[in-house]
Amino acid sequence: MPDLAVETTPIPGLLVVRLAVHADARGWFRENWQREKMVALGLPDFDPVQNNVSYNTRRGSTRGIHTEPWDKFVSVTGGRAFGAWVDMRDGESYGATFSVELDDSTAVFVPRGVGNSYQTLDDGVAYSYLVNQHWQPGLVYPALDLADPDAAISWPIPLDEAEISDKDRANPRLADAVRMQPRTTLVVGSKGQLGRALLAAFPDAVGVDLDELDVSDPDAVAAWPWHEHDVVLNAAAFTAVDQAETPEGRVAAWTANAAAPAALARVADQHRLTLVHYSTEYVFDGTRAPHDESEPLSPLGVYAQSKAAGDLAVATAKRHYVLRTSWLIGDGHNFVRTMARLARDGVSPNVVDDQVGRLTFTTELARATRHLLESRAAHGVYHCSNGGEPMSWADVAARVFALCGRDAADVGRVTTEEYYAGKALAPRPLLSAFDLGKLAATGFASEDAVVALERYVAELEPATDSAARP
């Protein structure tokens, strides 16, 4: 008998599965759904949650064309049927068609938004289909006229001789049909530096902040329409490192950085979402460098501990990316903007020279996010920053001063111990540079941090000069 095989079709994502049927004098046996083998051959790991059977008494029974908002794996048990599919998804492939005869050795994977229809070629045919969303009464979804001239399906049994429901006879033509819209990306924490960069990189995304969706609130999470999304980018976090050491800050840090990501991980598995979560070099104690993804977590302060807990929680989701980043710079208050302001105000600051790492510009982190999703890189933890040689904070400040026309030597250099003297500050890791090899292995080339810094400061100058004028 032929081996199990998966074949593509003219409709993107619609796959024909050739099943291995083992027969003898008693009848036959087949593995109707075999996750490990089928996924290895290219079938999506679509997590079915419900199995339905539709029995058709007479030859010529015709159903469709229905466009359900879920993925579907269809086969027949006994007899033969003609299957026809029309792409009802908004986009370039809208209206594309495909048909094939279904028998004991043929099944079809139907992605969300592709209209499906079936016509029995024998008496007593049962369709068996797995779906990855529970059916709900009253659910309305797009449909298409079986006789639509643009789809031009060649039905083996003429429709005027077929058994068709009154409802299916009243379905609209392709020109008037409702197009299935794609699920969107949701950016949580969209008002922050990273959130704004993610919205720019994902222009079709929906952005929400915690005042619109408090993911630490079970009622708010339960009420959100998660079925409208396929990816969640969690850019929300409590980042006040020193405040996290206070009683109030400790609660806020653990709520935002640990409890909220844990809630999103549960949501991701429940609704088959891909969860992208952003973490920090603070999950390491900074006693070694560069940090690779296999290094054990060793957080120092409350902020660091809460972020490490969030990393572990997100890792429980089946489809997840944890992007650890360092020294984030974007559209908002940050170290580079502060140094540029001090340079132009004639101030000569003292900056720590023994904390060493790499800048990460929010545009770079957003670019890496898009790369991982579009390349379908293996899920897991990735370290992401701009590239180039690691620098200290004092090195960065000196570069900014030079770019602003000041003498780099105007930046004083002190140790962390000297800078912390007399201050109640949370501990910082001294060595923060990441090993970027795992991300590079996916085909992502990190831009040098110095190149990105020069561009950032050049773009910052007009706004800074204007703001400085009386």
The catalytic residue positions are: 66, 129
> Hey, how many other C-beta atoms are within 10 angstroms of the C-beta on 364?
24
**Interacting residues of 243 by C-beta distance below 8 A, sequence separation 6+:** 249, 252
Residue 53, H or E segment: strand 50-56
- Which of 443, 367, 320, 89 minimizes the C-alpha distance to 202? 367
- Structure tokens belonging to residue 65: 């064309």
Cα dihedral: 371, 376, 382, 388 (round 10): -30
- CA distance linking residue 231 with residue 320, whole number of Å: 10
- CA distance linking residue 238 with residue 247, whole number of Å: 14
- CA distance linking residue 146 with residue 21, whole number of Å: 31
- CA distance linking residue 263 with residue 335, whole number of Å: 31
- 3-class state of residue 10 by DSSP: coil
Q: Angle 100-105-110 (CA atoms, 0-180°, nearest 5)?
A: 50
Strands (DSSP E) along 140-222, which ranges? 184-188, 206-208
- Structure tokens belonging to residue 88: 């009802």
Strands 320-325 and 274-280: parallel
